Amino acid sequence: MTRIFGLLLTIRLFLWSGVLLAQDGFTCLTTFADSLRLNCTYNSSEWSYYRNQSLYVPDGNSGIPFHNAPIKTINVSINVIQKNDGSGNFEDTPDTRNRFRRIINWINDFYSNYSPSDQINWVSELPSYDSKIRFSIGEEGEERIYFIKNTSWWSYYDAVHGLYIYNDTLFANHPERMKDVNIFIFGNPYNYNFANSLPPSWSDFNSNTAIATFYWPSSDSDYAKAGTIAHELGHVLDLLHTYSGNGAPPVSDPYNMDFLKDVFLVSLNPDISNCPHIADYNTDAYAVNGDRVTNNLMGGNKDQKYISPLQAGQMHRALSLTSSRKYVHCEKSEVPLVITDEQLWDFNINYIGT
Protein backbone atom coordinates (compact mmCIF):
# COMPACT_ATOMS: atom_id res chain seq x y z
CA MET A 1 0.00 0.00 0.00
CA THR A 2 1.36 3.40 -0.93
CA ARG A 3 0.21 6.69 0.55
CA ILE A 4 1.12 9.67 -1.58
CA PHE A 5 1.07 13.17 -0.14
CA GLY A 6 0.51 16.09 -2.46
CA LEU A 7 3.23 18.68 -2.21
CA LEU A 8 2.60 19.49 -5.86
CA LEU A 9 4.26 16.19 -6.69
CA THR A 10 4.82 15.94 -10.44
CA ILE A 11 5.16 12.53 -12.03
CA ARG A 12 6.00 12.13 -15.68
CA LEU A 13 4.46 8.83 -16.65
CA PHE A 14 6.35 6.17 -18.51
CA LEU A 15 2.87 4.83 -19.30
CA TRP A 16 3.85 1.21 -19.37
CA SER A 17 2.05 1.49 -19.25
CA GLY A 18 -9.74 -17.90 -34.65
CA VAL A 19 -8.12 -19.96 -34.26
CA LEU A 20 -6.37 -21.06 -37.23
CA LEU A 21 -8.28 -18.48 -39.12
CA ALA A 22 -9.52 -20.61 -41.93
CA GLN A 23 -11.03 -19.19 -45.09
CA ASP A 24 -14.56 -19.97 -43.91
CA GLY A 25 -14.49 -19.08 -40.23
CA PHE A 26 -12.80 -19.46 -36.87
CA THR A 27 -13.37 -20.26 -33.23
CA CYS A 28 -11.72 -18.47 -30.33
CA LEU A 29 -11.45 -20.59 -27.18
CA THR A 30 -9.97 -17.98 -24.86
CA THR A 31 -11.57 -18.08 -21.41
CA PHE A 32 -11.58 -15.26 -18.87
CA ALA A 33 -12.11 -15.92 -15.18
CA ASP A 34 -13.85 -12.99 -13.50
CA SER A 35 -11.63 -13.38 -10.45
CA LEU A 36 -8.58 -12.87 -12.68
CA ARG A 37 -10.01 -10.06 -14.77
CA LEU A 38 -10.90 -7.63 -11.99
CA ASN A 39 -9.54 -7.74 -8.47
CA CYS A 40 -12.35 -6.45 -6.29
CA THR A 41 -10.49 -6.50 -2.98
CA TYR A 42 -9.33 -2.88 -3.17
CA ASN A 43 -11.42 -0.37 -1.25
CA SER A 44 -9.98 3.06 -1.87
CA SER A 45 -11.67 5.75 -3.90
CA GLU A 46 -8.38 6.04 -5.78
CA TRP A 47 -8.82 2.46 -6.99
CA SER A 48 -12.24 3.33 -8.41
CA TYR A 49 -10.61 6.25 -10.20
CA TYR A 50 -7.54 4.51 -11.59
CA ARG A 51 -9.36 1.38 -12.71
CA ASN A 52 -11.92 3.33 -14.75
CA GLN A 53 -11.50 2.45 -18.42
CA SER A 54 -12.37 6.00 -19.50
CA LEU A 55 -9.27 7.34 -17.75
CA TYR A 56 -6.99 5.57 -20.24
CA VAL A 57 -8.65 6.45 -23.57
CA PRO A 58 -5.76 7.74 -25.74
CA ASP A 59 -7.68 10.59 -27.35
CA GLY A 60 -5.04 13.30 -26.77
CA ASN A 61 -7.13 15.30 -24.29
CA SER A 62 -4.55 17.74 -22.97
CA GLY A 63 -6.13 17.96 -19.54
CA ILE A 64 -5.77 14.27 -18.65
CA PRO A 65 -2.25 12.74 -18.53
CA PHE A 66 -3.32 9.17 -19.26
CA HIS A 67 -5.11 10.35 -22.40
CA ASN A 68 -1.76 11.36 -23.88
CA ALA A 69 -0.19 7.95 -24.08
CA PRO A 70 2.85 7.57 -26.31
CA ILE A 71 2.95 4.65 -28.72
CA LYS A 72 3.32 1.52 -26.59
CA THR A 73 5.15 -1.33 -28.29
CA ILE A 74 4.64 -4.88 -27.04
CA ASN A 75 7.38 -7.46 -27.54
CA VAL A 76 6.23 -10.64 -29.27
CA SER A 77 8.08 -13.91 -29.96
CA ILE A 78 6.94 -16.53 -32.47
CA ASN A 79 7.62 -20.19 -31.65
CA VAL A 80 7.20 -22.60 -34.56
CA ILE A 81 6.76 -26.17 -33.33
CA GLN A 82 8.17 -28.67 -35.83
CA LYS A 83 8.54 -32.43 -35.75
CA ASN A 84 11.85 -33.79 -34.50
CA ASP A 85 13.12 -33.94 -38.09
CA GLY A 86 12.19 -30.30 -38.76
CA SER A 87 9.14 -31.06 -40.90
CA GLY A 88 5.42 -30.45 -40.44
CA ASN A 89 5.44 -26.69 -40.01
CA PHE A 90 7.04 -23.51 -41.31
CA GLU A 91 10.68 -23.90 -42.27
CA ASP A 92 13.37 -21.47 -41.22
CA THR A 93 13.69 -19.63 -44.52
CA PRO A 94 13.77 -15.97 -45.60
CA ASP A 95 10.29 -16.43 -47.05
CA THR A 96 8.91 -17.59 -43.69
CA ARG A 97 10.46 -14.63 -41.90
CA ASN A 98 9.10 -12.25 -44.53
CA ARG A 99 5.62 -13.70 -44.07
CA PHE A 100 5.75 -13.22 -40.30
CA ARG A 101 7.02 -9.66 -40.64
CA ARG A 102 4.18 -8.89 -43.03
CA ILE A 103 1.64 -10.37 -40.59
CA ILE A 104 2.95 -8.17 -37.76
CA ASN A 105 2.78 -5.13 -40.05
CA TRP A 106 -0.84 -5.91 -40.86
CA ILE A 107 -1.64 -6.30 -37.17
CA ASN A 108 -0.11 -2.91 -36.43
CA ASP A 109 -2.22 -1.48 -39.24
CA PHE A 110 -5.36 -2.96 -37.68
CA TYR A 111 -4.49 -1.34 -34.34
CA SER A 112 -4.00 2.10 -35.86
CA ASN A 113 -6.18 2.74 -38.89
CA TYR A 114 -9.73 1.36 -39.06
CA SER A 115 -13.08 3.10 -38.63
CA PRO A 116 -16.21 1.21 -37.51
CA SER A 117 -18.43 -0.57 -40.03
CA ASP A 118 -21.48 0.38 -37.94
CA GLN A 119 -20.88 3.97 -36.91
CA ILE A 120 -22.49 5.27 -33.72
CA ASN A 121 -23.14 8.97 -34.19
CA TRP A 122 -22.53 10.13 -30.63
CA VAL A 123 -19.11 8.45 -30.29
CA SER A 124 -16.02 10.65 -30.58
CA GLU A 125 -13.57 8.32 -32.28
CA LEU A 126 -9.85 8.22 -31.55
CA PRO A 127 -7.68 10.53 -33.66
CA SER A 128 -6.98 8.59 -36.89
CA TYR A 129 -8.58 5.58 -35.11
CA ASP A 130 -5.19 4.93 -33.53
CA SER A 131 -5.12 2.80 -30.37
CA LYS A 132 -1.48 3.84 -29.73
CA ILE A 133 -0.52 0.17 -29.36
CA ARG A 134 1.93 -1.68 -31.60
CA PHE A 135 3.63 -5.08 -31.68
CA SER A 136 7.19 -6.03 -32.55
CA ILE A 137 9.09 -9.26 -33.24
CA GLY A 138 12.38 -7.36 -33.42
CA GLU A 139 14.41 -5.65 -36.10
CA GLU A 140 14.79 -7.21 -39.53
CA GLY A 141 17.49 -9.88 -39.37
CA GLU A 142 17.10 -10.15 -35.58
CA GLU A 143 13.49 -11.27 -35.39
CA ARG A 144 12.34 -13.22 -32.35
CA ILE A 145 11.26 -16.22 -34.42
CA TYR A 146 12.25 -19.59 -33.01
CA PHE A 147 11.96 -23.09 -34.46
CA ILE A 148 11.46 -25.84 -31.86
CA LYS A 149 11.83 -29.50 -32.86
CA ASN A 150 9.51 -31.49 -30.63
CA THR A 151 7.15 -34.05 -32.17
CA SER A 152 5.13 -34.51 -28.98
CA TRP A 153 4.38 -30.78 -28.87
CA TRP A 154 3.79 -30.66 -32.61
CA SER A 155 1.10 -33.33 -32.63
CA TYR A 156 -0.84 -32.57 -29.47
CA TYR A 157 -2.38 -29.48 -28.01
CA ASP A 158 -4.51 -29.24 -24.89
CA ALA A 159 -6.51 -26.03 -25.29
CA VAL A 160 -7.37 -25.92 -21.61
CA HIS A 161 -4.04 -26.64 -19.94
CA GLY A 162 -1.50 -26.73 -22.73
CA LEU A 163 -0.40 -23.11 -22.93
CA TYR A 164 0.59 -23.06 -19.26
CA ILE A 165 2.71 -26.19 -19.76
CA TYR A 166 4.41 -24.95 -22.92
CA ASN A 167 5.04 -21.50 -21.49
CA ASP A 168 6.58 -22.89 -18.29
CA THR A 169 8.73 -25.38 -20.18
CA LEU A 170 9.92 -22.71 -22.60
CA PHE A 171 10.83 -20.31 -19.81
CA ALA A 172 12.69 -22.99 -17.85
CA ASN A 173 15.08 -23.27 -20.80
CA HIS A 174 14.89 -19.70 -22.09
CA PRO A 175 14.00 -17.38 -19.20
CA GLU A 176 14.80 -14.32 -21.33
CA ARG A 177 11.65 -14.98 -23.35
CA MET A 178 9.46 -14.17 -20.35
CA LYS A 179 9.66 -10.55 -21.46
CA ASP A 180 7.70 -11.38 -24.63
CA VAL A 181 4.18 -12.46 -25.47
CA ASN A 182 4.90 -15.89 -26.92
CA ILE A 183 2.90 -17.06 -29.91
CA PHE A 184 3.01 -20.84 -30.37
CA ILE A 185 2.32 -22.20 -33.86
CA PHE A 186 1.68 -25.92 -33.48
CA GLY A 187 1.50 -28.60 -36.14
CA ASN A 188 -1.95 -29.19 -37.53
CA PRO A 189 -2.45 -32.91 -38.24
CA TYR A 190 -6.13 -32.72 -37.21
CA ASN A 191 -6.99 -29.58 -39.19
CA TYR A 192 -7.85 -27.52 -36.11
CA ASN A 193 -9.61 -24.21 -36.72
CA PHE A 194 -9.36 -22.55 -33.32
CA ALA A 195 -6.96 -20.41 -31.37
CA ASN A 196 -6.79 -19.26 -27.79
CA SER A 197 -4.75 -17.13 -25.45
CA LEU A 198 -4.00 -16.69 -21.77
CA PRO A 199 -5.51 -13.47 -20.39
CA PRO A 200 -3.51 -11.21 -18.08
CA SER A 201 -3.73 -11.30 -14.29
CA TRP A 202 -4.87 -8.41 -12.12
CA SER A 203 -3.16 -9.80 -9.03
CA ASP A 204 -0.16 -11.93 -10.07
CA PHE A 205 2.12 -9.54 -11.92
CA ASN A 206 4.57 -12.34 -12.72
CA SER A 207 1.85 -14.19 -14.62
CA ASN A 208 2.60 -14.89 -18.28
CA THR A 209 0.28 -14.67 -21.24
CA ALA A 210 0.62 -16.56 -24.53
CA ILE A 211 -1.23 -17.36 -27.75
CA ALA A 212 -1.74 -20.71 -29.48
CA THR A 213 -2.61 -21.28 -33.13
CA PHE A 214 -1.88 -23.90 -35.78
CA TYR A 215 0.13 -24.25 -38.96
CA TRP A 216 -1.39 -22.90 -42.17
CA PRO A 217 0.62 -23.68 -45.30
CA SER A 218 -0.72 -21.16 -47.81
CA SER A 219 0.38 -17.54 -47.85
CA ASP A 220 -3.11 -16.77 -49.21
CA SER A 221 -4.33 -17.17 -45.61
CA ASP A 222 -1.73 -14.84 -44.09
CA TYR A 223 -3.97 -11.76 -44.02
CA ALA A 224 -6.77 -13.72 -42.35
CA LYS A 225 -4.26 -15.14 -39.87
CA ALA A 226 -3.15 -11.60 -39.05
CA GLY A 227 -6.76 -10.90 -38.04
CA THR A 228 -6.80 -14.00 -35.86
CA ILE A 229 -3.60 -13.11 -34.04
CA ALA A 230 -4.69 -9.47 -33.68
CA HIS A 231 -7.90 -10.72 -32.03
CA GLU A 232 -5.95 -12.93 -29.61
CA LEU A 233 -3.58 -10.09 -28.78
CA GLY A 234 -6.68 -8.13 -27.82
CA HIS A 235 -7.38 -10.83 -25.21
CA VAL A 236 -3.79 -10.58 -23.99
CA LEU A 237 -4.57 -6.90 -23.38
CA ASP A 238 -7.73 -7.79 -21.42
CA LEU A 239 -10.38 -7.32 -24.13
CA LEU A 240 -13.49 -9.49 -24.12
CA HIS A 241 -15.52 -10.58 -27.12
CA THR A 242 -18.30 -8.34 -28.35
CA TYR A 243 -20.37 -11.50 -28.99
CA SER A 244 -21.69 -14.09 -26.55
CA GLY A 245 -20.52 -17.66 -26.27
CA ASN A 246 -17.17 -19.33 -25.62
CA GLY A 247 -15.26 -18.14 -22.58
CA ALA A 248 -15.00 -14.37 -22.97
CA PRO A 249 -18.50 -12.87 -23.37
CA PRO A 250 -18.95 -9.09 -23.16
CA VAL A 251 -20.08 -7.16 -20.11
CA SER A 252 -23.76 -6.62 -20.90
CA ASP A 253 -24.87 -4.56 -17.88
CA PRO A 254 -24.97 -0.91 -19.05
CA TYR A 255 -24.38 0.24 -15.46
CA ASN A 256 -21.20 -1.81 -15.07
CA MET A 257 -18.04 0.29 -15.17
CA ASP A 258 -16.59 -1.98 -17.86
CA PHE A 259 -19.58 -1.85 -20.19
CA LEU A 260 -18.48 -0.67 -23.64
CA LYS A 261 -21.12 1.94 -24.31
CA ASP A 262 -19.28 3.18 -27.41
CA VAL A 263 -19.64 -0.33 -28.89
CA PHE A 264 -23.16 -1.26 -27.81
CA LEU A 265 -25.25 1.89 -27.19
CA VAL A 266 -26.61 3.34 -30.42
CA SER A 267 -27.91 6.21 -28.33
CA LEU A 268 -26.89 7.33 -24.85
CA ASN A 269 -30.04 5.78 -23.40
CA PRO A 270 -29.34 2.44 -21.66
CA ASP A 271 -30.94 0.39 -24.46
CA ILE A 272 -28.86 -2.76 -24.84
CA SER A 273 -30.68 -4.22 -27.83
CA ASN A 274 -27.39 -3.87 -29.74
CA CYS A 275 -25.59 -6.07 -27.19
CA PRO A 276 -24.17 -8.58 -27.75
CA HIS A 277 -23.00 -8.47 -31.34
CA ILE A 278 -23.30 -11.46 -33.66
CA ALA A 279 -20.18 -13.46 -34.54
CA ASP A 280 -20.89 -14.23 -38.19
CA TYR A 281 -17.56 -14.71 -39.91
CA ASN A 282 -18.66 -14.59 -43.56
CA THR A 283 -21.33 -11.87 -43.50
CA ASP A 284 -20.24 -8.51 -44.91
CA ALA A 285 -19.90 -6.34 -41.81
CA TYR A 286 -20.30 -3.19 -43.92
CA ALA A 287 -23.51 -4.28 -45.70
CA VAL A 288 -26.10 -3.29 -43.07
CA ASN A 289 -25.61 -0.69 -40.34
CA GLY A 290 -27.20 -1.92 -37.13
CA ASP A 291 -27.43 -5.65 -37.85
CA ARG A 292 -24.99 -6.37 -34.96
CA VAL A 293 -22.47 -7.89 -37.38
CA THR A 294 -19.52 -5.50 -37.19
CA ASN A 295 -15.83 -5.16 -37.98
CA ASN A 296 -14.90 -4.85 -34.30
CA LEU A 297 -11.53 -6.45 -33.50
CA MET A 298 -13.24 -8.72 -30.96
CA GLY A 299 -16.36 -9.40 -33.03
CA GLY A 300 -15.58 -12.67 -34.81
CA ASN A 301 -16.04 -11.34 -38.35
CA LYS A 302 -13.59 -11.70 -41.24
CA ASP A 303 -13.18 -7.89 -41.24
CA GLN A 304 -12.38 -7.65 -37.51
CA LYS A 305 -10.14 -4.58 -37.18
CA TYR A 306 -11.92 -1.65 -35.50
CA ILE A 307 -11.02 -0.69 -31.92
CA SER A 308 -13.37 1.65 -30.05
CA PRO A 309 -12.08 4.42 -27.74
CA LEU A 310 -13.14 2.49 -24.63
CA GLN A 311 -11.59 -0.73 -25.91
CA ALA A 312 -8.34 1.20 -26.39
CA GLY A 313 -8.81 2.50 -22.85
CA GLN A 314 -9.19 -1.04 -21.51
CA MET A 315 -5.97 -2.12 -23.24
CA HIS A 316 -3.98 0.82 -21.91
CA ARG A 317 -5.45 0.18 -18.47
CA ALA A 318 -4.21 -3.41 -18.71
CA LEU A 319 -0.73 -2.06 -19.48
CA SER A 320 -0.80 -0.18 -16.18
CA LEU A 321 -2.73 -2.48 -13.86
CA THR A 322 -2.24 -6.08 -15.06
CA SER A 323 0.58 -8.51 -15.75
CA SER A 324 0.60 -7.52 -19.44
CA ARG A 325 2.54 -4.38 -18.56
CA LYS A 326 5.82 -6.28 -18.42
CA TYR A 327 5.83 -6.69 -22.21
CA VAL A 328 5.75 -2.98 -23.03
CA HIS A 329 8.39 -0.58 -24.27
CA CYS A 330 7.60 3.07 -24.88
CA GLU A 331 8.75 6.64 -24.49
CA LYS A 332 7.67 8.77 -21.55
CA SER A 333 4.45 10.72 -21.71
CA GLU A 334 4.81 14.39 -22.56
CA VAL A 335 2.05 15.29 -20.11
CA PRO A 336 2.90 14.95 -16.40
CA LEU A 337 0.58 13.56 -13.77
CA VAL A 338 0.35 16.17 -11.01
CA ILE A 339 -0.83 15.01 -7.60
CA THR A 340 -1.78 17.92 -5.36
CA ASP A 341 -3.54 16.11 -2.53
CA GLU A 342 -3.15 13.01 -0.42
CA GLN A 343 -3.96 9.75 -2.21
CA LEU A 344 -4.16 6.22 -0.86
CA TRP A 345 -2.89 3.68 -3.38
CA ASP A 346 -3.90 0.26 -2.06
CA PHE A 347 -3.25 -1.29 -5.48
CA ASN A 348 -0.29 -1.92 -7.77
CA ILE A 349 0.06 0.47 -10.71
CA ASN A 350 3.05 0.65 -13.01
CA TYR A 351 4.52 4.10 -13.61
CA ILE A 352 7.91 5.79 -13.45
CA GLY A 353 8.63 9.34 -12.32
CA THR A 354 11.29 11.86 -13.28
What are the tens digits of pLDDT across the range 172-199? 999 999 999 999 999 999 888 888 999 9
Q: Which residues lie below 8 Å from residue 165, measured CB to CB, with a gap of 6+?
A: 158
Query: Can you give the pLDDT at residue 23?
Result: 36
**Average pLDDT value for residue range 108-131:** 97
Backbone CA torsion sign across 99, 101, 104, 108: negative
Is residue 44 scored above 50 in pLDDT?
yes
- Minimal CA–CA distance to 53: which of 241, 237, 324? 237
Of the listed ranges 12-16, 46-50, 339-343, the one predicted with least confidence: 12-16
Is residue 35 scored above 50 in pLDDT?
no
CATH (domain of 17): 3.40.390.10
Query: Can you give the pLDDT at residue 311?
Result: 98
Mean pLDDT, rounded, of the chain: 86
**Average pLDDT value for residue range 265-287:** 91
**Average pLDDT value for residue range 19-29:** 52
Q: Is residue 353 assigned to a domain?
A: no
Query: Can you give the pLDDT at residue 15?
Result: 31
Domain coverage including residue 16: 2-345
Total domain count, the chain? 1
Query: Can you give the pLDDT at residue 34?
Result: 53
Contact 301, 279 (CB under 8 A): yes
